[in-house]
Chain A
């Protein structure tokens, strides 16, 4: 398992994403899967940075591990409790340019992953994003 800890400032996001994709690469995760997980992590982390912490003081810890064909990314923060798995699906149809766009981030996370788990432990939000590596993706 490899982990990286970042400031919850939005300017730390690009560096965090490149660290995560690098780690996933080292874990032998195929390129396409890396790209999909990257989007899911971006959405989850951006949300913590913009809506979770109320000051710039907070930290976010990201750790990645691979168990066989499952790759899991664990995202921990100490912001107020927020369970993204309870966010309802956004309305993706209708007169699209006038519809509210809340919930788009969690929609992307759901589309990009096979498993989402949330728990609140000892004042921390813990979000685990899992994805199954398909054999057709290589390796």
Chain B
């Protein structure tokens, strides 16, 4: 058995030939899992040269079809030889899968579906192209949004955090936030574990410092009101997102986080939004290339040593997985004098990972999920909640600016003020 995977114009094509017995079917299932992105909905399975197939092969095809159908997608089979055709008909499955005589015809059929789906989306929301992505904007809240800063980012960078710097935040009061923190019962308890954290809705996702490099994902059951996160630094959104952008990369490698922020700033200027140089965003999307890092050590000085740890944890890849993120972007070429200067300074710590690139300062944290299907019709909040409810949690990191995404719903808050706690 041999399986060849190809991707063309948003259609995923698997060529399976040789013999598809119970063993080969298990290998095909692994290959499909490896290649199917969370936003894939149109799949062609080319059976040219497939000379043998058992019921295990049917199961694999059926599992694939069920998965993409749940996303309003479908599969098409082509070049079915006599043996697999007989097996399919013996099982009563010959009418279940749409079949085509050639790969070209199957591909055309799948393209037709993709075109009609994107046409519906375009009609709903006219798209503008910028950078290496297409953007469609929808107005959300008209109320001004602000950022609340707790702690001082530069103290973190110097690893000078003591117990007095830690604040206990109710999860219900930091709905969209990022920072450095931990869950635990007392300040003393959490000091060694302070790591990258984010809160989205009422969930807390964090990467505890210390031994294991294992991120943790916590959704309070029922009332989140009393659950507290201890944070050494926290940036949280007050107010709601002003716009929701539907973003699709035009480059097949995806769009990088810094290019995404740059495009949003440029489009805000063109569309005369009230953008004073600082944005907060929440993202639900599909990863093209994940570049993340996390602290290996809590920022509290250990044995008096407070030099930054060069061996920070990095993570990459996750192509095709779902991502949820929260972060901020600051356009340093803008006139930022209207913002509270000490609050701004508390945000703008030097970041060893190069948060400051060409006049753009970014600080974003993102969590990765698998098998939380992308649905272009779902809204941002539904998408985030679906990742939490249905997705398999994979990782959480501070996002490097080179992280790339294929597509996303991006909640944008044009920050009017920063407040310091």
B69 within 8 A of A: yes
Q: How far is the CB of A12 from chain B (nearest CB, A)?
A: 8
B65 neighbours in A (Cβ, 8 Å): 97
Contact B59 A14 (CB under 8 A): no
CB of A7 to closest CB in B, whole Å: 12
Contact, CB under 8 Å: A104 / B91: yes
B22, B90, B96: the one contacting A97 at CB < 8 Å is B96
Q: Does A39 contact B (CB under 8 A)?
A: yes
Do A101 and B58 form a contact, CB below 8 Å, given A39-B87, A111-B90?
A: yes
Q: How far is the CA of A96 from the CA of B22 in the complex (A)?
A: 22
| B66 touches A (CB below 8 Å) | yes
Known: A96-B92, A97-B65, A108-B90. A42 touches B21 (CB 8 A): yes
Stretch with Cβ within 8 A of B (4 or more), from A43-51, A53-61, A130-138: A43-51
Closest A residue, CB atoms, query B94: A96
From A38, A49, A92, A105, contact of B92 by CB (8 A): A92
Tell me whether B21 and A46 are in contact (CB under 8 A): yes
Which residues from A are CB-within-8-Å of B419? none
Q: Specify the chain A residue showing the minimal Cβ separation from B91.
A: A104
Residues from chain A with a CB closer than 8 A to the CB of B95 are 96
Closest to A106 in B: B55
> Contact at B69–A11, with CB atoms within 8 Å?
no
Q: Which residues of B contact A87 (CB under 8 A)?
A: none
Interface residues of A in 107-137 (CB under 8 A from B): 107-108, 111
Count residues of chain A with CB under 8 A from any CB of chain B.
Answer: 25
Contact A93/B92 with A13-B22, A43-B55, A101-B59 known, Cβ cut-off 8 Å: yes
Cα–Cα, bound, A9→B274 (Å): 64
A4 in contact (CB, < 8 A): no
| CB atoms of A14 and B23 under 8 A apart | yes
Chain A residues with CB under 8 Å of B93's CB are 96
What mask results when residues 43 to 65 of chain B are scored 1 for a CB within 8 Å of chain A, else 0? 00000000010111011001001
| Bound: A11/B24 CA distance, A | 9
Judged by a CB distance under 8 angstroms, whether B316 is at the interface is no
Q: Which of B54, B62, B69 contacts A43 (CB 8 A)?
A: B54
Docked complex Cα distance between A13 and B56 (Å) = 12
B128 located at the interface, meaning its Cβ lies under 8 Å from any Cβ of chain A in the complex: no
Question: Which A residues touch B59, using CB under 8 A?
Answer: 101, 104
Given contacts A42-B54, A43-B54, A93-B92, contact A14 B62 (CB under 8 A): no
Given A97-B65, A104-B58, A17 contacting B96 (CB threshold 8 A) = no
A10 touches B (CB below 8 Å): yes
Residues 11-61 (chain B) with a chain A CB within 8 angstroms: 19, 21-24, 26, 52, 54-56, 58-59
A16 CB to nearest chain B CB (Å): 10
Instruction: Give Cα A93–Cα B96 distance, bound, in whole angstroms.
Output: 10
When A39-B54, A46-B56, A101-B62 are in contact, do A108 and B91 touch as well, CB less than 8 Å?
Answer: yes
* Contact across chains for B91 and A13 when beta carbons are under 8 A apart: no
Q: Nearest A residue to B25 by beta-carbon distance?
A: A46
Q: Are A97 and B23 in contact (CB under 8 A)?
A: no
A96 vs B26: C-alpha distance when bound (angstroms): 23
Q: How far is the CB of B139 from chain A (nearest CB, A)?
A: 39
* Bound Cα distance from A104 to B91, whole angstroms: 7
Which of A10, A101, A104, A107 is close to B22, meaning CB atoms less than 8 Å apart?
A: A10
A17 and B55 contact, CB distance less than 8 A: no
Choose from A11, A39, A93, A111 the contact partner of B23 (Cβ within 8 Å): A11
Residues from chain B with Cβ under 8 Å of A38 in the complex: 52
Say yes or no: B87 contacts A46, CB within 8 Å: no
CB distance from B58 to the nearest CB of A (A): 7
In the complex with contacts A97-B62, A97-B65, A14-B19 CB distance below 8 A:
yes
Given A14-B21, A96-B92, 14 further pairs, Cβ under 8 A? A11-B23, A13-B22, A14-B24, A35-B83, A42-B54, A92-B92, A97-B65, A97-B66, A101-B55, A104-B55, A104-B91, A105-B54, A107-B55, A107-B91
23 A-B pairs within 8 Å (CB atoms) are namely: A10-B22, A10-B23, A13-B22, A14-B24, A35-B83, A39-B52, A39-B54, A39-B87, A42-B21, A43-B54, A45-B22, A46-B21, A46-B54, A46-B56, A97-B62, A97-B66, A101-B58, A101-B59, A104-B59, A104-B91, A105-B54, A108-B54, A108-B91
Residues on B facing A (Cβ under 8 Å): 19, 21-24, 26, 52, 54-56, 58-59, 62, 65-66, 69, 83, 87, 90-93, 95-96
Name the 9 nearest CB pairs between A and B, nearest first. A46-B22, A92-B92, A104-B55, A13-B23, A96-B96, A42-B54, A97-B96, A105-B55, A10-B23
